[in-house]
Amino acid sequence: MQAWKQVVILGFAVLTAQVSFGQAGVVSIDTGKIQGATQESVEYFKGVPFAAAPVGDLRWRAPQPVNSWTGVRQATAYSADCMQVPFPSDAAPLGTAPAEDCLYLNVWRPAGTRADAKLPVMFWIYGGGFVNGGSSPAVYDGSKFAEKGVILVSANYRLGRFGFFGFPELTREDADGMVGNYGFMDQIAALKWVQRNIAAFGGDASKVTVFGESAGGFSVSMLLTSPLAGGLFSQAIIESGGGRTNLGGQRYLSTVVPNGPPSAESAGVDFAKSVGVDGTGKDALAALRHLPAEKVLGNLNMASMGQPGYSGPMIDGRVVVADPQSIYLSGEGWRVPIMIGANSLDIGFGFAPSKDALFAPFGVNRDKAVAAYDPNGNGDLRAVQYSVAMDRMMVEPARFVASVFASRGLPSYEYRFSYVAESMRSKWPGAPHATEIPFVFDTVSAKYGKDLTPSDEKIAQAMNSYWVAFAKTGDPSTGNTPAWPRYSPASDMLMNFTADGPIAEADPWKPRLDVTAAYVSGSAPPPAPKLPPHP
């Protein structure tokens, strides 16, 4: 009898192993049938095309429809990330080789999900300064979201000169004005794919939360303020994505027409000249489209993104009608629940040669700024400058956006990520830019490996649970974690993820953020155009 039990147990273990790692069911989407794979309690579908390959004559065009296929397409591996020069110190290294043919997305769902389940959906937008990034990094795996009953979708979007490029003939060529911000158009196309197809995976197209970090967070701001994004999502999360102006801290984004500095068209002409293409007409554009992808790419990445001949995101009049701050201040933008925050050692750029030069721009509030940032007068210039810069670029804009949404009566939640992985505490005095991502996805084991500690795992489980709760209900409080209060300017409460766990508290940085807000508000851009009514 004992031997028989052992055989049964062994057979069950083998069967379990076979079920844990196998094929997923076939799903029919609008272009054909796909089949993914199952890993433990999660099904995933990877490398699903949401737009035609943007190559040849489709380079620098709005994303085009995918041709349908017959039979069942296997969707078990990531497709190529978009064309880029990988960045050596990237917090999320790519899992695939980059290529120009890159408009693919990935879906994770609970195994066995019925088509009528109507599960909430989360749509992830990666960062990387619009020149790096992809959906394949291990830390972006959506399994933990799926385990908690959420469908996670991630999608690639074009980067660098492939994703953001102006040229006079492009403007003349497209009568609809869909020019310049091809990377943003890809994001919108992927969200439209979700609206058309997510029900086939058991998802609820009316319950889509967009979330992203850094350039991905700025992309969420773009979606919140773009006339073309209405009805594509119902909630938003911005992680270290600014919200005042663009990620470079400048007042205005580039324009697609050469009537204001800087001009994306002018940058495109400069690039053309640099690769031996003269003129601005049809022949010049044809020559640019026939350039090898490597020639268009050059050496552009996070370390060289300020080079001539690259504009980055721009005001095109269709996708982007103004910078986000202008639209927020004018009372426009899509009205949805929002969650937003930044890290305690977030990114910022400052080059003041002295403290006098650093504090001079605060004007009449100079003394308040000194008291907030350098109260003893003996702070290291670089450290003080970094605090001023990151507050201006990431931390104060997060509070600004939280305040805007709260003032409209919308659910608004602010966070600060101050947790530093235990293995990095001797090296990092705070939580650097992007370090919250593996905690949000609960993929800390992929990030920290053998150095992972129970404390790291506990914070990751808590953060992932908060993000899931927000996706499900519009409120991040879970019932099993400290309650996360709604943001209001009066109380200035946020959730601080610390070494002692999540702590709801009044913002301890209020004095310095107040003085930074006064400085930024004094140089606000003009009101933005009105958006059309929400569908």
pLDDT in tens, 444-490: 999 999 999 999 999 999 999 999 999 999 999 988 899 999 999 99
- For residues 224 and 236, the answer to whether their CB atoms sit within 8 Å is yes
Q: What is the pLDDT of residue 40?
A: 93
Distance of alpha carbon 422 from alpha carbon 269, whole angstroms: 49
214, 234, 240, 387: which is the annotated catalytic residue?
Answer: 214
Cα–Cα distances (Å) from 475 to 121, 229, 294, 490, in that order, read 15, 23, 45, 19
* Average pLDDT for 332-355: 95
Sign of torsion, CA 497 503 508 512? positive
* Tally of CB atoms within 10 A around 303: 15
Separation of alpha carbons 176 and 173, rounded Å:
9
Q: Where are the beta strands (DSSP E) in 454-534?
A: 493-498, 501-506
Q: What tens digit of pLDDT does each residue of 196-217 get?
A: 999 999 999 999 999 999 999 9
Confirm if 493 and 506 have CB atoms less than 8 A apart.
Answer: yes
Confidence bin at 258 (pLDDT 50/70/90): very low
C-alpha dist (Å) from residue 25 to 43, 44, 113 = 8, 10, 10
- The pLDDT score that the predictor gives to residue 524 is 47
Binned at pLDDT 50, 70 and 90, residue 13 comes out as very low
Check residue 427 and give its pLDDT: 96
CA distances from 3 to 7, 8, 9, 41, 374 (A): 6, 9, 10, 30, 74
Query: CB under 8 Å to 145, separation ≥6 — which residues?
Result: 108, 122, 151, 152, 441, 464, 467, 468, 471
Segments making up each domain of the chain, as ranges: 22-343+353-521
Backbone angles phi, psi at 162, to 5 degrees: -75, -30
Domain spanning 22-343+353-521: which superfamily? Alpha/Beta hydrolase fold, catalytic domain (3.40.50.1820)
The 10s digit of each residue's pLDDT in 335-344 is 999 999 999 9
326 in catalytic set = no
Residue pair 220/232 in contact (Cβ under 8 Å)? The answer is no
| Backbone dihedral angles phi then psi of residue 179, each to the nearest 5 degrees | -135, 155
Phi–psi pair at 503, nearest 5 degrees: -130, 120
522 falls in which pLDDT band (50, 70, 90)? low
